[in-house]
Amino acid sequence: MKSKVAEATVKRIWRAARKLVAATVVSVMLAAGVVSVLAAPASAAPVAGLVLTVNTTADLPGVAAGRGVCRDAAGTCSLRAAVMVADTSLRHTTIIVPAGHYRLTIPPRSPADDPLTDFDLGRGALKLLRPVTIAGAGARQTVVDGTGITRVFANFTAATITGLTITGGFMPPISPLLPLPIGGGGVANIGVLRLQRVAVSGNHADFGAGIFNYPLSFLTISDSVVNGNSGLEAAGIRFDSGGLVVNTTITGNTAVSRADRPGTESGFGAGVDARGATPSTLTIVNSTIAGNSASKGGGGINVAQGYPPFIVGILLAQSVRLRNTIVAGNVDAAGSSADCNSLGIVSFRSAGHNLASDGSCPFRLPSDLRNTDPLLGPLASNGGPTDTLALLPGSPAINAGGSAGCPATDQRGVPRPPAHCDIGAFQFVPTS
């Protein structure tokens, strides 16, 4: 009898929590004063505003020193102090982060550091509340490290992060009794975020270990690499709303199963996991999603309904479209090929010129290549700001991309000839 009562209680908590997700996100964003920025794309040129230059790698909170002045307890300008200034600025703020290893050493008050409730700016994650650009010296030169005690960034605004590595982010296990979609070891995005020329690597969380995009958010990621992240589901990137992925390599991410997270709540979507709760579109263009591992399936891409239809009020919330993209060499726990997986009433389609190493992806247009080995090299520095998986000579992806919508350059910045666009994030350049 007691077990039945406990089971009924858990179900009631589950239903109530799920219904509160969308409302909670909106309420938090209203409280932070950032809902109005959702209509403005993060890629828009920032207005003239405040420019701050970080001059210490120490993790020190800011102290009151006058509006627009970055100063910490040591009299320097730490990254945390600069973010705290930006969070109170009425203008757009640009934070220059020189080469260095910036370790976050102040743990959050709550081990979970829930971005929906934790706004302690002096502890835990770097919380972006007002429009800001954070510019590093390059992903190989500037590293922001959660040191295994906190997530790295929580974004609530229109923000751009460029030229740095996000690593060491950590979120502890989430209790099954509170199944809110809380995650994001590297980044929790609840606003409009642009990531460009970044590496998101070595982060851990149950859900969205690298990046977790909450309902109503939007992420644009380009010329970047997402690798070596681990969790239960969506080890690389989780999209609960719209997004755009361009010229990005997603590889070496691992999603494992856990007994207290049965069904689709663990072991799926090691590379990309789309669980959209609001009407939105995720578009993936000229990217390479390869070498990821999910214990149950969808090692490369998993598309499923993460929210019951009665909560969002529609049967089909999110659509996923791929073009000029490689999804290959992704596996399940048995080592079997597991590039794609879809479950429920979802829209997961090819926009042409995609390549998969098995038949699990919805690549059925004449220009698509299925059951094809793309002949990729290992993840390495092949030039450019972030690591890539190079196309080897003879790769079937060479010259097989569509010219329409092909980016002008590849992930490294190498030009793509309009009539000879390669599939994936890497453009092959023959040697003479």
pLDDT mean over 300-314 = 72
Looking at the predicted structure, is the pLDDT value of residue 349 above 50? yes
Strands (E), 146-292: 153-155, 158-162, 165-167, 187-189, 192-196, 199-201, 211-213, 218-227, 230-231, 237-239, 242-251, 254-255, 272-274, 280-285, 288-290
127's enclosing H/E stretch is: strand 126-128
380's enclosing H/E stretch is: strand 376-380
154's enclosing H/E stretch is: strand 153-155
pLDDT bin (cut points 50, 70, 90) of residue 418 is confident
Q: Higher confidence at residue 64 or residue 365? A: 365
Gap between the Cα atoms of 185 and 420, Å rounded: 38
Gap between the Cα atoms of 165 and 314, Å rounded: 38
- Structure confidence by residue, pLDDT tens digits, 268-290: 999 999 987 777 899 999 999 99
Q: Do residues 155 and 194 make contact, with C-beta atoms less than 8 angstroms apart?
A: no
What pTM did the predictor assign?
0.89
Q: Which of 94, 105, 42 lies closest to 72 in space, CA to CA?
A: 105
CATH topology for 2-256+265-391 is Pectate Lyase C-like (2.160.20)
Gap between the Cα atoms of 146 and 143, Å rounded: 10
- Structure confidence by residue, pLDDT tens digits, 146-160: 999 999 999 999 999
Q: Where are the alpha helices (DSSP H) in 141-187?
A: none
Gap between the Cα atoms of 307 and 286, Å rounded: 29
Residues 6 or more apart from 28 whose CB is under 8 A from it? 116, 117, 156, 190
- Beta-carbon count within 10 A of 106 CB: 16
Q: Give the distance, in angstroms, between the CA of residue 430 and the centroid of all CA atoms in the same chain.
A: 32
- Can you give the residue ranges of every domain in the chain? 2-256+265-391
Q: Do residues 162 and 134 make contact, with C-beta atoms less than 8 angstroms apart?
A: yes
The pLDDT assigned to 21 comes to 41
Looking at the predicted structure, is the pLDDT value of residue 105 above 50? yes
pLDDT mean over 236-255 = 96
pLDDT mean over 126-150 = 97
- Structure confidence by residue, pLDDT tens digits, 176-234: 655 556 889 999 999 999 999 999 999 999 999 999 999 889 999 999 999 999 999 99
- Structure confidence by residue, pLDDT tens digits, 223-244: 999 999 999 999 999 999 999 9
Q: Which of 326, 327, 320, 291 lies closest to 422 in space, CA to CA?
A: 326
Long-range CB pairs of 14-22, under 8 A, 24+ apart, other chains included: 14/179, 17/178, 17/179, 17/180, 18/179, 18/180, 18/307, 18/308, 18/311, 19/311, 20/180, 21/180, 21/181, 21/215, 21/277, 21/307, 21/311, 22/215, 22/216, 22/277, 22/278, 22/311, 22/312
Gap between the Cα atoms of 166 and 198, Å rounded: 8
The pLDDT assigned to 20 comes to 36
